[in-house]
Amino acid sequence: MTQRADLDTDGPEPGGGGRQRSIDAGSELDPVHPVPSPESSGEPDTAQRTGATAVAVSTRGLTTAEVAERVARGEVNDVPVRSSRSIGEIVRGNVFTRFNALIGVLWVIMLIVAPIQDSLFGFVIVANTGIGIIQELRAKKTLDNLAVIGEAKPTVRRDGVAAEISTSEIVLGDLIEIGPGDKIVVDGAVVEADGLEIDESLLTGEADPVLKKPGDPVMSGSFVVAGGGSFTATKVGREAYAAQLAEEASRFTLVHSELRSGISTILKYVTWLMIPTSIGLVISQLVVKDDNFKESIAYTVGGIVPMIPEGLVLLTSVAFAIGVIRLGRKQCLVQELPAIEGLARVDTVCLDKTGTLTEGGMDVTELRLLDGSDDSYVRKVLGALGESDPRPNASLQAIIDSYPDNEEWRCTESLPFSSARKYSGASFSEGNGESSTWLLGAPDVLLPTGDPTLTEIDHLNEQGLRVLLLAQAAGELDSPTVSQGARAAALVVLEQRLRPDAADTLRYFDEQNVAAKVISGDNAVSVGAVAGKLDLPGAENTVDARTLPADQGEMAQALEDNAVFGRVTPQQKRDMVGALQSRGHTVAMTGDGVNDVLALKDADIGVSMGSGSEATRAVAQIVLLNNSFATLPSVVAEGRRVIGNITRVATLFLVKTVYSVLLALLVVCTQVEYLFLPRHLTLLSTLTIGVPAFFLALAPNKERAQPHFVRRVMRYAIPGGAIAATATFATYLLARHHYTGPAAREAETSAATLTLFLIAIWVLAIIARPYTWWRIALIGTMGFGFLLVMVVPWLQDFFKLQLVGTTMPWGAVGIAAVAALGIELAFRWVDRRVPA
Residues 6+ apart with CB under 8 A from 43: 37, 58, 60
For residues 668 and 281, the answer to whether their CB atoms sit within 8 Å is: yes
Cis ω for the linkage preceding 770 (within 30 of 0):
yes
Q: Is 352 a catalytic residue?
A: yes
> Can you say whether the dihedral through the CA atoms of 116, 120, 121, 125 is positive or negative?
positive
For residues 367 and 492, the answer to whether their CB atoms sit within 8 Å is: yes
d(CA 187, CA 205) in angstroms, rounded, equals: 18
d(CA 84, CA 354) in angstroms, rounded, equals: 31
Angle at 766 between CA 312 and CA 703, to 5 degrees: 70
* Closest C-alpha among 763, 833, 751 to residue 790: 751
For residues 536 and 471, the answer to whether their CB atoms sit within 8 Å is: no
| DSSP tag of 285 | I
| DSSP tag of 572 | H
* Closest C-alpha among 636, 638, 640, 649 to residue 696: 649
Tally of residues, the chain: 836
* Closest C-alpha among 337, 332, 292 to residue 317: 337
| DSSP tag of 686 | I
Residue of 352, 389, 522, 602 marked catalytic: 352
Q: Which run of H or E residues covers position 721?
A: helix 709-738
d(CA 345, CA 642) in angstroms, rounded, equals: 11
403 three-state secondary structure: coil
> What is the number of H-type helices and E-type strands within the chain?
28, 25
Angle at 151 between CA 148 and CA 157, to 5 degrees: 120
* Largest separation between any pair of C-alpha atoms in the chain: 118
Residues 6+ apart with CB under 8 A from 373: 489, 490
Residues 6+ apart with CB under 8 A from 2: 28, 48, 49, 194, 388, 389, 390, 411, 414
Residue type, 438: W
d(CA 674, CA 661) in angstroms, rounded, equals: 12
Residues designated as active site: 352
